[in-house]
């Protein structure tokens, strides 16, 4: 069992009329127990730079879907800037925790409550001809055979930017990489964003099953940051988790 210790000290000789000297130490344990936490993301450091102010966007540091919910996770974030006016806005989901100005750091618990990853099943149906294709998420699969299962396997073998896949016979299950309402599923027989190119005989289709039951929902607790300037601000972060 790992033993990890966090100590915070607040001190001032002149904030109050008496000295402020507060120190608290805690051994980081799993939720509801005395077993030490055993996993950590490692301390990472990244500089965010943008070409224009309009391009500044929230950057996800830790996605709730990647971790167990309602555990004793702890997040450390530091703004390494030395320019007093530069700050990061720290957000958990849509909620702003506050600003981290130059040199500031934060250490706080994180429930990592995730949303729902959108999912649907596409099944190669009918008669597929060599050269017919199906495009989704910017990835096009061209059939090299007349076997539906082979085409489905080829679709599943692709690497999609926003989806993972599992194939079973002629059916390919798509699962979003991140919890969100992607809006891809529009009903039981259609998805948004796919392009089917078939030879004209009308025999080849790629209908979905699973329908709206697979609709996703955004995570309300992803941790993200927003820099105040575009000219290069650096943060450090570490996640200690179960």
Contact set with another protein (CB under 8 A): 2-16, 20, 22, 24, 26, 36-38, 40, 42-43, 76, 78, 84-85, 87, 96, 98-99, 101, 103-105, 107, 238, 240
Task: Name which of 12 and 47 has its Cβ closer to another protein.
Answer: 12
* Backbone conformation region of residue 13, classed left if phi is above 0, alpha if psi is from -120 to 50, else beta: alpha
Q: Closest separation between CB of residue 23 and another protein, Å? A: 9
Residues 191, 177 contacting (CB under 8 angstroms): no
Residues 126, 204 contacting (CB under 8 angstroms): yes
Pair of tokens at residue 229: 């300037």
Task: Name which of 33 and 42 has its Cβ closer to another protein.
Answer: 42
Name the 3-class secondary structure at 81. Answer: coil
Angle (CA) 217-168-172 rounded to 5° is: 40
Q: Closest separation between CB of residue 100 and another protein, Å? A: 10
Q: Closest separation between CB of residue 215 and another protein, Å? A: 30
Task: Name which of 6 and 139 has its Cβ closer to another protein.
Answer: 6
Task: Name which of 36 and 207 has its Cβ closer to another protein.
Answer: 36
Residues 41, 223 contacting (CB under 8 angstroms): no
């Amino acid at each position: 069992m790992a033993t990890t210790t966090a100590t915070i000290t607040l001190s001032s000789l002149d904030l109050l009329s008496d000295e402020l000297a507060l120190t608290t130490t805690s051994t980081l344990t799993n939720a509801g127990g005395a077993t030490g936490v055993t996993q950590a993301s490692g301390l990472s450091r990244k500089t965010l730079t943008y070409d224009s102010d309009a391009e500044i966007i929230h950057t996800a540091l830790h996605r709730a879907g990647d971790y167990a919910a309602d555990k004793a996770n702890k997040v450390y974030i530091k703004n390494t800037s030395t320019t007093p006016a530069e700050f990061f806005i720290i957000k958990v989901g849509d909620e702003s925790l506050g600003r981290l100005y130059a040199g500031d750091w934060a250490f706080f618990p994180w429930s990592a409550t995730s949303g729902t990853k959108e999912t649907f099943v596409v099944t190669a149906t009918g008669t597929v001809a060599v050269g017919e294709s199906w495009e989704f998420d910017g990835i096009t699969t061209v059939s090299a055979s007349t076997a539906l299962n082979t085409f489905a396997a080829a679709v599943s073998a692709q690497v999609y930017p926003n989806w993972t896949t599992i194939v079973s016979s002629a059916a390919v299950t798509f699962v979003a990489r991140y919890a969100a309402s992607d809006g891809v599923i529009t009903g039981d027989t259609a998805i948004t964003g796919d392009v089917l190119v078939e030879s004209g005989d009308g025999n080849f289709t790629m209908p979905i099953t699973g329908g709206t039951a697979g609709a996703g929902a955004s995570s309300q607790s992803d941790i993200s940051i927003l820099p105040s300037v575009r000219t290069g601000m650096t943060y450090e972060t570490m996640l200690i988790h179960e």
